[in-house]
Amino acid sequence: MKFNINPLVLKEFEENLNVLEPEKSSIPARVIGLGEISSVFVIDHIELKDYAFKRLPIFSNQKEAEEYEKILKEYINILESGVGIKVVQTDGTIVKTSDGRIVYYLVQELLPQESIGNKFIKNADRTSAIDFFKKVIRELAKVEDFNKKSEKIKVGIDGQISNWVAFRKDHGIAPAYLDVSTPLYRKDGKEMLKADLILKSAPPILKQILKFLFLKEVLDRYYDLRLIIIDLLANLFKEKLDENEFIPELIQVANKELHIKKITFDEVKAYYKKDAFIWELFLSSRKFYRFVKAKVFRSRYDFILPEKIER
Ligand SMILES: Nc1ncnc2c1ncn2[C@@H]1O[C@H](COP(=O)(O)OP(=O)(O)O)[C@@H](O)[C@H]1O
Ligand SMILES: [Mg+2]
């Protein structure tokens, strides 16, 4: 561990975590990030309070978690040393509970909320916000440059604005990447992260459907610069940025910055609507599955789900 985290405290936390109401756990936790796939939280404990923890309860055994960790570290290394993107210092640890469950925790320093991309872009003045957005676009363009040059390894990235943090650099602001928990990269065309891990929280039948209908499409788009940018732009609707002026302006910035086929407002909006539909379907099916598991069968549903995604 790069960070000085007491593994026993984390184990105690995991063993007593109330996944339906984390704030009511004996070591209380507060969810600070409602992502689509996992939740990030702050743990109210003297030894853990300065960190952000991302909990991944998706592993069936130690070996699976170790494999994931290897892939995670390689991904971070490729982003930093290969692509040249600054990545928020990230560590991780495998927690094994007394009853034999394996949970992986990603650990990062707890960053100030107002420095997270989506908050930053909303609160900063227009010029700084656009400047930050432009820099994010340039970081994403590096991924394409890397992929063009690299034969064996291709890197995917989820460029959404909430995956970046604004940090101070040479009297200005620069973006660093924070959302590394889905390490997307391919070696000789083969996706290194097992698709099953991504879909672990979905009900079994839906899992099959998602895997065959959407997964390839959903994953492919993280390897295609134009789609990465459209995804980033579409997400700004979800972030409730002003769609009359600000979003069109940012679309223009992206078009100016990159050598890609021009992105239009209508295209971005249509993408947003379709994407919202897919994710809402995914979330509501997971909620139903959680209900069945936890309430009907009284067994354990291990995921912390967002109550409602604001759109
Ligand atoms: N180290 C951190 N410090 C502060 N907030 C964080 C940190 N990591 C994540 N978050 C918050 O949680 C949100 C989701 O985290 P992210 O890693 O993007 O996970 P997801 O896979 O759920 O999108 C971020 O947008 C941010 O608001
Ligand atoms: Mg994210």
Any idea which of 187-201, 203-217, 225-239 has the lowest mean pLDDT?
A: 203-217
Q: pLDDT digit string (tens) for 162-204?
A: 999 999 998 899 999 999 998 999 999 998 988 777 676 555 6
| Rounded Cα–Cα distance for residues 177 and 193 (Å) | 19
Q: Is 32 in the pocket of ligand 1 (CB under 6 A)?
A: yes
Ligand 2 midpoint to CA 159 (Å): 9
Q: Parallel, antiparallel, or unpaired: how do β-strands 172-177 and 164-169 relate?
A: antiparallel
Nearest alpha carbon, ligand 1 atom 13: 33
Q: Is 40 in the pocket of ligand 1 (CB under 6 A)?
A: yes
Q: pLDDT digit string (tens) for 282-307?
A: 777 777 667 666 666 666 777 777 66
Model pLDDT, residue 197: 79
For the residues 52-76, what does the mean pLDDT come to?
Answer: 94
Q: Is 116 in the pocket of ligand 1 (CB under 6 A)?
A: yes
Which atom of ligand 1 has the smallest separation from the CA of 110? 3
Ligand 1 midpoint to CA 221 (Å): 21
For the residues 214-229, what does the mean pLDDT come to?
Answer: 84
In this predicted structure, the answer to whether residue 269 has a pLDDT above a threshold of 80 is yes
Q: Which of 225, 51, 19 is nearest to 141 (CA)?
A: 225
CATH class label, 8-64+75-109: alpha beta
Model pLDDT, residue 274: 84
Model pLDDT, residue 297: 64
Q: What are phi and psi of 47, to 5 degrees?
A: -85, -15
Checking 221-226 for CB contacts under 8 A at 24+ apart, the result is 222/156, 222/157, 222/158, 222/184, 223/147, 223/154, 223/155, 223/156, 223/184, 223/186, 225/140, 225/141, 225/143, 225/144, 225/258, 225/260, 226/260, 226/261, 226/263
| Rounded Cα–Cα distance for residues 242 and 134 (Å) | 17
Q: Is 129 in the pocket of ligand 1 (CB under 6 A)?
A: no
DSSP 8-state code for residue 180 = -
Q: pLDDT digit string (tens) for 237-268?
A: 989 999 999 999 999 999 999 999 999 999 99
Model pLDDT, residue 129: 97
Confidence bin at 86 (pLDDT 50/70/90): very high
Model pLDDT, residue 287: 72
For the residues 57-66, what does the mean pLDDT come to?
Answer: 91
DSSP H/E element including 233: helix 225-238
Q: pLDDT digit string (tens) for 102-157?
A: 999 999 999 999 999 999 999 999 999 999 999 999 999 999 999 999 999 999 99
